[in-house]
Structure 1
Amino acid sequence: MPIWKRNLLVCWFGMFITSVGLSQIAPVLPLYIKHLGIDNPASIAQLSGFAFGVTYIISALFSPLWGVAADRVGRKPMLLRASLGMGIVICSMGLAQNVYELVGLRLLQGVITGYSTACTTLIATQTDKEHAGWALGTLSTANIAGSLLGPIIGGGIEESLGLQNVFFLTGALLLVVFLTTLFFVQESFTRGGKETLRVKEIWNTIPNKSLTVILSATYLIITLALYSIEPVVTIYVTQLTTDTTHVALLAGMAFSASGLASIIAAPRLGKLSDKIGAQKVILVALVVAGIIFIPQAFVQNPWQLMGLRFFLGLAVAGLSPSVNILIKKITPDALTGRVFGFTISAGYLGIFGGSVLGGQVAAWWGIRYIFFLTSALLLINAVWVYFTVYKKLNRQEEAVSQKERPEEVVVIPTEAQ
C-alpha cells in the first residue's frame, strides 16, 4: 500500500474518533451536569450551552497556532500531541467532581485540539496532485461520520454503561488513535527554522491573501448553514408528526440523512474536482444546497424532511473538500498548516455561530425561517464565489493551458505542391 494511502486510512480513523469525542457529549452533557449536583433546569441549560460551546470557541483561537506548529516541527508530532492530550483530558472528564472542573476540562480540550488541522495538512501535502481531491474528499467523511454518530454513540453508552463510561471509552479510543498514529503514519518533513507565531507575520507570508480570506469565509458560512438547523431538528420533527412516541428516532433519522449522503458522495465529488476543477464543484454545490434548503420549510411530514436532507447531503459533500482542495492549490506546502489552521478556525466559529443563530431565529420568527435565512446565505455566497474564485481561477487555468498549448504550424503550399 502506498504511504499516502496508509496515512489517509490512519488519519480517517483518527479524525472520526476525535469528531466523535467532540460531539458525543452533546446528548449526555445536561445529564452529567445534573449528576454533578446542579438541579435547577435553567442552570443546567445555561451551563450545558456554555460547556458545549466553549470547546469550539477555544479551538477556533488555537487552531491557527497548531497549524503554525505543524509547519515548523511536522504534522505527525501534532497528531500525537492532539490524540494523546485529548485522550487524557476526556478521560479526566469522567472523574470531574463538580461542574466547574467539567467546564475547565472542556476548555482545555479546545486548547489541545488540532488533530483535524494536522491531518488535513498531512494528506494535502503528502498526496500527489492526481489523487488530492479524492483523498481530501474521503478524509472529510471522517468528520461527517463522527459528528453523525457521536451523539448516538454517546447516548447509547450512557444508557447501557453509565454517564462516566462515555468519557472513559472515548478517551481510551483516542489513546488507540495515538498508538496507530505513532506506529503507522509516515511523514517526509524538513524541519523549518525558528519562526515567530505572531498572526500578523504569518499573514504577511501568505501569497494569495484575498482568495484565502474568501475561502475561509466560505467555509464559515458552510458550517454556519449546516449547523443552524441542528438545535431545532427535534422540535421541527415534533411539529411535523402526531407520533410523539418516536420523535427521537425520527429526529435522529432526519439528522443522519444528510450525513449519510455526504459520506457516499464526498469521495466521488473529490475525484470529480480533480478532473474538472474544485471551483466548479463548489459553485454548483453552493447553488444546489441553497435551493434545497427552501422546500424544507414547506414539508408536511418527517419523511419529506428526511428525503430533502438526503439530497442536501449530496450537495454539501462538494463543499468542504472543495475548499480544502482550493486552499492546497493556492498555498505553498510550507504554509499549508498555517492556512488550514485559519480555515478550520473559521469552521469552528461557524459551528458555534450556526447553533446560536438557529436557536435565536427559531425563537423570534419560527423554525421555518431558519431555512430561508440559510438558503439566502448560501446563494449570496455562491454569487461571491462566482465573481471572486470561479472566474479568477478559470482565467488562470486558461492562461496556463494557452502557454502549454503548442503553437499552430501554418503550412503554406508551394508551387511544386
Structure 2
Amino acid sequence: MDQTNWKRNLYILMVCQFFVMAAMTMIIPFLPLYLQELGVTDSQAVSRWSGLIFGANFLTAFLFAPLWGKLADKYGRKSMLLRSGFGMAVVLTLTGFATGPWSLLLLRLLNGMISGFIPAAIALISMSTPKKQMGYSLGMLQAGAVAGGICGPLFGGVMADLMGFRMIFYVTGVTILIAALGVLFLVKEKFERKTETVKTNTLQDFKKIASTSPILSLYIVFFIVQCALIGINPLLSLFVQELTTSQNLAFYAGLAMSVMGFANMSASPLLGRLSDRKGHQYVLVFALLGAALISFPQAFVQSYWTLLIFRFLLGLCLGGLLPSINSLLRHLAPKGMESRTYGFSNSFMYLGTMIGPIGGGWLASIAGIRSLFIASAILLMINVMIVNFKVIPFINKKNRENLNEDKKKAAGESI
C-alpha cells in the first residue's frame, strides 16, 4: 500500500476508534441505574445483574473473536469493520428498547458476539503499515481508543442527566453508525483473497499459531496484563473513599481513572516511535517492569494525591504495552493468518477482562483492597520474566538470522 493510503487509513481509523470507544463507554456510569428503571429495585439484585450484564459482553466477545479473525483473513479486515460497526449500531439502538433485565442481558450477549471493531482496525493498520513504522501507527491507534474511553463516560454521565437513560443508547447507536459509514466511504483496503488448499477448524488454527514461538507467550502476557490492571478498576472507587473524606467521591474516583487514561493516550505514540527504533520487545519489557514497580507502592499510599501521581505514572507505562504486543504479533504471525492471530489475542484479552474483576473482588474480600496492588505488581513481574526469557531471546535470534540473510543477498548481488 502506498505512503498516502496507510497514513490516510490510520488517521481515519483513529477518529473512528474514538467514536466507537466513546459510544461503548457512555453507558458505564449509569448501567446499574438503567436496571433500576427496568424494574430491578433490590440493591443486591442490582449488583448481581450489573456484574452479569457487564461480563456478558466479554463472554461472547471471547468466544467469537477467533471466528471473526478467520473471516477477516478470508474476506478482508474492512469487511469485519463494517460487520461490527453496523451490527453494534443496530444492537445498541435496540438496547434503548429493553423491557427488563433479561432482554438487556440478551442484547449485551449479542453485542459481544458481533463486536470486534477495534481488533479489526488493529489488524487492518498492521497489515498496511510499513514495518518500520508499526509501533508508531499502533500507538496512534491506541491513543484514539483511549481518548474515546476517557471521554465516553463523561459524555454519557452528562447526557443521562439531560435526556434520560434510554436516549443514550440511541445516541451511541448513531455514533457507531457514523464511524461505520466513515470506514465504508473513506478507508481503503487492498485485499487479495487467498484460497485455502486445506480447510482448518478453530482448534487447528490455534495450534498452528500457538506453535509459532513466542506467540503463545505473548498471549499469556496479554491475559496477565488484563487480569493485573482491570481487576483493580471496579474497586478503585472504594479505595479512593478510604483515602479522602470529600463529598465528591464519584468525581475523585473518575479522576483517578481518567488521569491514567490521559497519560496512556499521551505516551502511546511516543513509545510506539521508540519501539520502532529500539525494538518492540525492549519497550514491552521495560513498560512491564515500570508498571510493576509503580503498582507495588500504591498498596501503601496514605494520600489521594499520592495515589493520583502513581496512577498517572502507571498510565505512562501502559502506553508502551499494547502497541508493543500487537506489533510483535504482527511480525510473528504465520503468513495468511494475521487476523486469526489477532483474533486469538483478543480472546485472551477478553478472558483476562472477565477473570480479573472476579479474582480481584475475591482477593479484596479476603485480604483487603490494598492487596490488589501487591497482586498486580507480582503478576506484572511474572510478565517481565516471561518476556525476558521467552520473547526477547527469540526475537533477537530471529533478527540476527534476518540480518545474516540480508548480508548474504547483498554479497550475492555484488558479485
Q: TM-score, normalised by structure 1?
A: 0.93
SS at match of 1:388: helix
1:144 has 2:146 as partner? yes
Q: Distance in 2 between matches of 1:342 and 1:235?
A: 34
Partner of 2:343: 341
CA contact (8 A) 1:68 1:197 kept: no
Change (3 A) 1:365 1:285: same
Partner of 1:218: 221
Change (3 A) 1:313 1:209: same
Partner of 2:122: 120
Residues 150-183 of structure 1, C-alpha deviation per residue, up to 9 Å, x if partnerless? Answer: 2222222111111011101010001101111110
Letter of the structure 2 residue corresponding to residue 167 of structure 1: F
Question: What is the aligned counterpart of 2:257 among 251, 255, 258?
Answer: 255
Question: What is the aligned counterpart of 1:233 among 236, 249, 273?
Answer: 236
Change (3 A) 1:404 1:190: closer
Map 1:44-63 → 2, pairs under 5 A: 44-63=46-65
1:242 has 2:245 as partner? yes
300-309 or 153-162: bigger deviation: 153-162
Report the Cα offset of residue 206 of structure 1.
2.9
Q: Distance in 2 between matches of 1:49 and 1:398?
A: 48
Q: Distance in 1 between matches of 2:144 and 2:357?
A: 21
Map 1:240-389 → 2, pairs under 5 A: 240-243=243-246, 245-389=247-391
142-151 or 183-192: bigger deviation: 142-151
CA contact (8 A) 2:285 2:388 kept: yes
Query: Where do 4+ consecutive residues of structure 1 move more than 6 Å?
Result: none
Letter of the structure 1 residue corresponding to residue 37 of structure 2: H
Report the Cα offset of residue 39 of structure 1.
1.1
Change (3 A) 1:142 1:348: farther
316-325 or 198-207: bigger deviation: 198-207
Q: Distance in 2 between matches of 1:397 and 1:164?
A: 54
CA contact (8 A) 1:229 1:358 kept: yes
Question: What is the aligned counterpart of 1:206 among 180, 205, 209?
Answer: 209
Letter of the structure 1 residue corresponding to residue 217 of structure 2: I
Report the Cα offset of residue 210 of structure 1.
3.5
SS at match of 2:337: helix
CA contact (8 A) 1:225 1:374 kept: yes
Residues 3-62 of structure 1, C-alpha deviation per residue, up to 9 Å, x if partnerless? Answer: 111211222222223323333222211111111111111111111110010001110111
Q: Distance in 1 between matches of 2:144 and 2:245?
A: 35
CA contact (8 A) 2:213 2:394 kept: no
Residues 89-147 of structure 1, C-alpha deviation per residue, up to 9 Å, x if partnerless? Answer: 00000011122111110000011001122111100001111211100111112332233
Unaligned runs of 5+ in 2: 410-415
Change (3 A) 1:333 1:269: farther
Residues 55-79 of structure 1, C-alpha deviation per residue, up to 9 Å, x if partnerless? Answer: 0111011111101101100111111
CA contact (8 A) 2:26 2:152 kept: yes
SS at match of 1:27: helix
Report the Cα offset of residue 402 of structure 1.
4.4
CA contact (8 A) 1:73 1:192 kept: no
Letter of the structure 2 residue corresponding to residue 299 of structure 1: V
Report the Cα offset of residue 192 of structure 1.
2.8
Count matched residues: 407
Change (3 A) 1:221 1:143: farther
Residues 198-239 of structure 1, C-alpha deviation per residue, up to 9 Å, x if partnerless? Answer: 212313543853411111111111122221110111111111
Q: Distance in 2 between matches of 1:119 and 1:125?
A: 10
CA contact (8 A) 1:125 1:333 kept: no
Report the Cα offset of residue 314 of structure 1.
0.8
Q: Distance in 1 between matches of 2:331 and 2:144?
A: 22
RMSD of aligned residue pairs (Cα, Å): 1.9
Unaligned runs of 5+ in 1: 408-417
